[in-house]
């Protein structure tokens, strides 16, 4: 197996395992799909940093004109570290922004705060007044649109913690118009993640664009609609036409926007990076326990928690396939938890201790959600551009883990 022009086997020998490997070429290609599909309208593709916040990936996207969707002050610091000139292309989402985070974003001159409550808007106004910096904002409205996805990553219903009831938005915008330190710049929506159909996006944007037109009639000069992110991928084996999916999404959003004359912001994360990444692991043991066969690898739930957290599916393939029939196995890690698994009752080609396996489509919410549980150092990360592979994050050491602590 290869990533671009680099052999996965050689990368594992060079950098060790567990190891995250990413294709820069595919990330750039996916960004280009959105930019091309939306070319007929003024737009900005704001990469959702939470999906994978590696500095090298942020720099790669910034150099190609991407903006960024952040949900913390730390994520803003990452963007500023590699692309300070991109501050004006940043939107700040999230339900729990602190005063310190708001101050940081105001001083950086970000494009827009996606405000999720009236109390947050009040705090934003107070911080803007104190710093004497006008704050551009969009209300993140909740359109009460159902998206068929995992309940943990569905965000568009009235029962969720996210957003403001769309029926109350007009009054809030009109009230904010009297504050000289607030500038109503846009309307924002985000209905969830890993959504495979374009229809829910169209339905949500139709409601948002109706609100935007009403606001403009009422004298609130909305300049942008932020459609959020959430376009999903296929984690199972098989053909996946990314261009077709982006085209369907863009068509649904464009139709729903109608004659809205302003700028469109979109916030893809998973779609740009998930299928560009894999987690490499080495088989430690193959063990039979009654009727079960366990393939124990050196990666664990602290490296990739999605299967344990969401029961998420990742294809697992041997890097150098052996002859023989696939067998039913559980692929598990060494962490002291029964929930430390990558696959249960999965047909896998024969593997032996020392073999390498690749957990595919792991570029999003893999390293970003990793931890040091069981005092395990987090993996190294490698970015492949063409035939060239470079280390973008070294493997943690025990000194890294113990450094912040005092006995």
Same-domain pairing of 242 and 299: no
3-state secondary structure of 67: strand
Same-domain pairing of 148 and 263: yes
Same-domain pairing of 376 and 250: no
Residue 87, in any domain of the structure: no
Same-domain pairing of 231 and 106: yes
Q: What is the mean pLDDT of each run of 10 residues along the chain (407 residues)?
A: 96 98 98 97 98 98 98 98 98 96 98 97 98 98 68 48 86 96 97 90 94 94 95 89 96 95 97 98 96 97 96 96 96 96 97 98 98 98 97 98 97
Q: How many structural domains comprise the chain?
A: 2
* pLDDT, position 149: 47
Q: What is the token pair recorded at 220?
A: 């609130």
Separation CA 204–CA 342 (nearest Å): 34
CA angle, residues 345, 346, 348, in degrees to nearest 5: 135
CB atoms within 10 A of CB 338: 8
* pLDDT, position 158: 53
Same-domain pairing of 254 and 284: no
* pLDDT, position 346: 97
Same-domain pairing of 283 and 318: yes
Separation CA 78–CA 20 (nearest Å): 19
Which residues, other chains included, contact 221 with Cβ-Cβ below 8 Å and sequence gap of 6+? 184
Q: What is the token pair recorded at 217?
A: 């009639």
Catalytic one of 119, 290, 324, 336: 336
Same-domain pairing of 250 and 393: no
Query: Where in the sequence is the domain holding 290, given as residue range(s)?
Result: 275-397
Same-domain pairing of 248 and 284: no
Cis amide leading into 142 (omega within 30): no
Residue 16, in any domain of the structure: no
Residue 172, in any domain of the structure: yes
Separation CA 393–CA 174 (nearest Å): 47
Same-domain pairing of 219 and 333: no
Same-domain pairing of 109 and 126: yes
* pLDDT, position 246: 97
Residue in 22, 39, 50 with CA at minimum distance from that of residue 229: 50
Residue in 176, 172, 112, 182 with CA at minimum distance from that of residue 141: 172
Same-domain pairing of 113 and 260: yes
Q: What is the CATH number of the domain that holds 132?
A: 3.20.20.10
CA angle, residues 212, 268, 314, in degrees to nearest 5: 140
Residue 128, in any domain of the structure: yes
Q: What is the token pair recorded at 265?
A: 């912001």
Residue 331, in any domain of the structure: yes
Same-domain pairing of 303 and 350: yes
The pTM assigned to this predicted structure is 0.94
Is 336 known to be catalytic?
yes
* pLDDT, position 188: 96
Q: What is the CATH number of the domain that holds 313?
A: 2.40.37.10
* pLDDT, position 156: 40
CB atoms within 10 A of CB 85: 8
* pLDDT, position 146: 58
Residue 267 has φ and ψ, to the nearest 5°, of: -130, 60
* pLDDT, position 161: 60
3-state secondary structure of 43: strand
Picking from 268, 290, 325, the residue at the C-terminal end of a domain is 268
Q: How far is CA 400 from CA 166, 394, 397, in A?
A: 46, 11, 5
Residue 47, in any domain of the structure: no
Picking from 268, 301, 322, the residue at the C-terminal end of a domain is 268
* pLDDT, position 148: 53
Picking from 253, 268, 283, the residue at the C-terminal end of a domain is 268
Residue 158, in any domain of the structure: yes
Beta strand spans in 153-291 (E): 164-165, 182-188, 224-226, 263-266, 277-289
Residue 59, in any domain of the structure: no
């Amino acid at each position: 197996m290869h990533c671009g022009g680099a052999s996965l086997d050689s990368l594992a020998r060079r950098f060790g395992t567990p190891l995250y490997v990413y294709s820069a070429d595919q990330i750039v290609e996916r960004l280009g799909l959105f930019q091309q599909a939306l070319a007929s309208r003024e737009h900005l593709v704001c990469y959702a940093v939470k999906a994978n916040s590696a500095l090298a990936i942020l720099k790669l996207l910034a150099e190609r004109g991407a903006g960024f969707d952040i949900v913390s002050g730390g994520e803003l610091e990452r963007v500023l570290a590699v692309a300070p000139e991109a501050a004006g292309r940043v939107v700040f989402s999230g339900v729990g922004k602190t005063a310190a985070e708001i101050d940081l974003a105001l001083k950086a001159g970000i494009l827009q705060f996606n405000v999720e409550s009236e109390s947050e808007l009040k705090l934003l106004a107070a911080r803007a007044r104190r710093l004497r910096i006008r704050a551009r904002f969009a209300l993140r409205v909740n359109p009460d649109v159902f998206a068929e996805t995992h309940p943990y990553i569905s965000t568009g219903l009235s029962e969720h913690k996210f957003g403001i009831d769309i029926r109350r938005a007009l009054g809030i915008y009109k009230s904010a118009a009297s504050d000289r330190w607030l500038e109503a710049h846009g309307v924002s929506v985000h209905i969830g993640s890993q959504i495979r159909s374009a229809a829910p996006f169209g339905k949500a944007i139709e409601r948002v664009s109706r609100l935007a037109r009403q606001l403009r009639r009422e004298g609130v000069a909305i300049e942008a609609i932020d459609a959020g992110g959430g376009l999903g991928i296929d984690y199972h084996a098989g053909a996946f036409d990314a261009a077709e999916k982006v085209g369907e999404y863009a068509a649904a959003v464009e139709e729903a926007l109608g004659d809205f004359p302003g700028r469109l912001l979109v916030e893809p994360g998973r779609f740009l990076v998930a299928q560009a990444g894999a987690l490499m692991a080495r088989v430690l043991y193959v063990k039979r326990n009654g009727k079960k066969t366990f393939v124990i690898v050196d990666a664990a739930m602290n490296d990739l928690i999605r299967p344990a957290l969401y029961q998420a599916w990742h294809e697992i393939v041997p890097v150098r396939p052996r002859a023989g029939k696939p067998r039913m196995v559980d692929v598990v890690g060494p962490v002291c938890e029964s929930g430390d698994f990558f696959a249960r009752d999965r047909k896998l080609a024969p593997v032996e201790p020392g073999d390498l396996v690749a957990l595919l489509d792991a570029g999003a919410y893999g390293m970003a959600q990793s931890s040091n549980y069981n005092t395990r150092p987090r993996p190294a990360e490698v970015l492949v551009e063409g035939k060239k592979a470079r280390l973008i994050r070294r493997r943690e050491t025990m000194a890294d883990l113990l450094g912040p602590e005092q006995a």
